[in-house]
Amino acid sequence: MQKLLVCYKWVLDEQDIKIAGDLSLDTSRAKYKISDYDKNAIEEGVLLAEKHGVSVEALTFGSVAAKQSLKDALSRGLEKVYWLGDAAADQADAFVTANILAAAIRKISQYDLILCGEGSSDAYSQQTAPRLAALLGIPAITFVQQLSVADGKVTATRKLGDCTEEVAITGPAVISVLPEINKPRIPGLKQVMAAAKKPSEEIKLADLELAAEELAPKVRCVNLKGYVMDRKKVIFKEANQADNVAKLVASLAQEGLC
């Protein structure tokens, strides 16, 4: 293993999104961040690079705002970030995203492992990693909660519902990791300052020579509204708290919730 790549997404911070009276989403004051799931992918890539003495780079595709992510990404231990900022990202689905990432990877280098988050914090389609692997013609291992590399073999533990599965492969692969695989580091002042000196490189969408049909989304978001839970507001007022608890449990059971 000589070279690792991490793919990440620069997304709106969901904590800053407000729901207006008509249930539309107000993102006017929302800041951006690296997708929480992708922070785990970056951390795992950096941990593997530190352990095995190999290089680790990153690739991100997004709107022009993606450039803002470079310093944060590089402060997390990456050596270099390739970024592609284009308006096409505003409507891109997993189909378009995977096509663009695959074309960019073919252009920049060959990698032994490509790591992704299991999904992104905004769409969480869980399609990009397996689509990317199919386009590159290499295996995909998804739902990974534990990962190790030894003697050229990659061993991964996959979390599948109520069981786990251990798989092993050799050669290049795309790995999508779950949040429990690690705890992402919080960059300190030294790491943030050092990030300013690390290299980044812009990739132009036009240079990837993708056909028009490869940039046409299969899925388009027509409308997006917030969800408001309509609670029944049932109050139990028995003097004996045990009776209140019993009534609550009975009510939940009647609705099939417990």
pLDDT digits (tens, 9 = 90+) for 22-57: 888 888 889 999 999 999 999 999 999 999 999 999
User: Which stretch of DSSP H or E encloses residue 244?
Assistant: helix 241-254
Q: Which residues of the chain have pLDDT under 50?
A: none
- The pTM assigned to this predicted structure is 0.86
The predicted structure's pLDDT at residue 258: 67
Q: Closest by alpha carbon to 52, among 187, 188, 147?
A: 147
The pLDDT of residue 257: 73
d(CA 118, CA 132): 13
